[in-house]
Amino acid sequence: MTIVVETIAALRAQVRAWRAEGLKVALVPTMGALHDGHVSLMRAALERADRCVVSIFVNPRQFAPTEDLDKYPRQLALDLDRLEKAGVHLAFTPGVEEVYPQGFATSISVGGPSAELETDFRPAFFDGVATVVGKLFIQSEPDLAVFGEKDYQQLCVVKKLVQDLNLPLEIVGSPTIRDSEGLAMSSRNAYLSAQELEIARRLNKILRKAASALEGGADEAVTMAAARQDVLEAGFDAVDYVAARQSDTLAPWQRDTDGRVLVAARLGKTRLIDNVEISAS
Ligand code: PAF
């Protein structure tokens, strides 16, 4: 039976009680609209810990005024059902006032891997993510927290936050879950029409082609330009970025090091991101 709590006090009391019994606690932060990708994060958490806490909170601070905060999918009853089936021990479902009470005036800004890529297009995004994730870590005091590799830059930013603030928890990155055609699971896939879904499914193949070209020694600028062209020819309306970066720092990629090809592209009203590994060996 999943315990559902809405207050920080109740969350803290339960996690502290578990830890006092010597149990290891994992946190999976989410914004709800749970899909198989989230369930894989919960599985990764349950493999490593005795208790799994999932937070469901659509964080207004990571949405720009022009973005989809109001229309972001909210389906708490369905989500709680999924948590129950996944064997999650506790759901933390705070309201906005619980997280950001009247007069809240603090923001966490992480440098390093937050530079460029998403930040060039969503300048306030990572401050919003770091602020809420930092609060969730302090509120729930977990031994570890699991984040998806799908939001690869976010994963790097969260790791940097934990490292720089000496927060006493481990950050675990969990591989992206894809449909049978390679489309990365995302809550925003729900916005895609049938025709857009077909186009979206080409994104991962294009990234894999680019990564294997780089692994095979192709010129980086030529490969990135070709990948951008491939994304547009697949039917996307615009490419925000397609770039090769080092996998740990997100600094410019160096040949013969592990890297990632990262992309953000727009399709109708939906913005999709994805990334694939560039293997050094
Ligand atoms: O990846 C997400 O769903 C969100 O950015 C997160 C980490 C839950 C913070 O709101």
Q: Collapse the DSSP code of 125 into the 3-class scheme (helix H, G, I; strand E, B; otherwise coil) and give the result.
A: helix
Q: What is the CB neighbour count within 10 angstroms for residue 173?
A: 18
Q: Are 215 and 277 in contact (CB under 8 A)?
A: no
> 34 among the known binding-site residues?
yes
Nearest CA to ligand 1 atom 1: 30
Cα(112) to centroid of ligand 1, in Å?
A: 19
Residues 94-137: pLDDT tens digits? 999 999 999 999 999 999 999 999 999 999 999 999 999 999 99
Nearest CA to ligand 1 atom 9: 129
Cα(96) to centroid of ligand 1, in Å?
A: 15
Residues 184-227: pLDDT tens digits? 999 889 999 999 999 999 999 999 999 999 999 999 999 999 99
CATH no. of 187-278 = 3.30.1300.10
Residues 44-85: pLDDT tens digits? 999 999 999 999 999 999 999 999 899 999 999 999 999 999
Q: Which residues, 6 or more positions from 206, have their beta carbon under 8 angstroms from its beta carbon?
A: 227, 230, 231, 234, 263
- Predicted confidence band at 256 (pLDDT cuts at 50, 70, 90)? confident
Per DSSP bridges, beta strands 90-92 and 25-30 are unpaired
Query: For the chain, what percent of residues have pLDDT higher than 90?
Result: 96
CB of 133 sitting under 6 A from ligand 1:
yes
> 1 among the known binding-site residues?
no
| Residue ranges of domains in the chain | 3-174, 187-278
H helices present in the chain, as ranges: 8-20, 36-48, 76-86, 96-99, 118-121, 125-140, 152-164, 194-200, 203-215, 220-234
Q: Are 36 and 79 in contact (CB under 8 A)?
A: no
CATH no. of 3-174 = 3.40.50.620
H helices present in 141-219, as ranges: 152-164, 194-200, 203-215
Least confident of 62-71, 169-178, 257-266: 62-71
H or E stretch at 145: strand 144-148
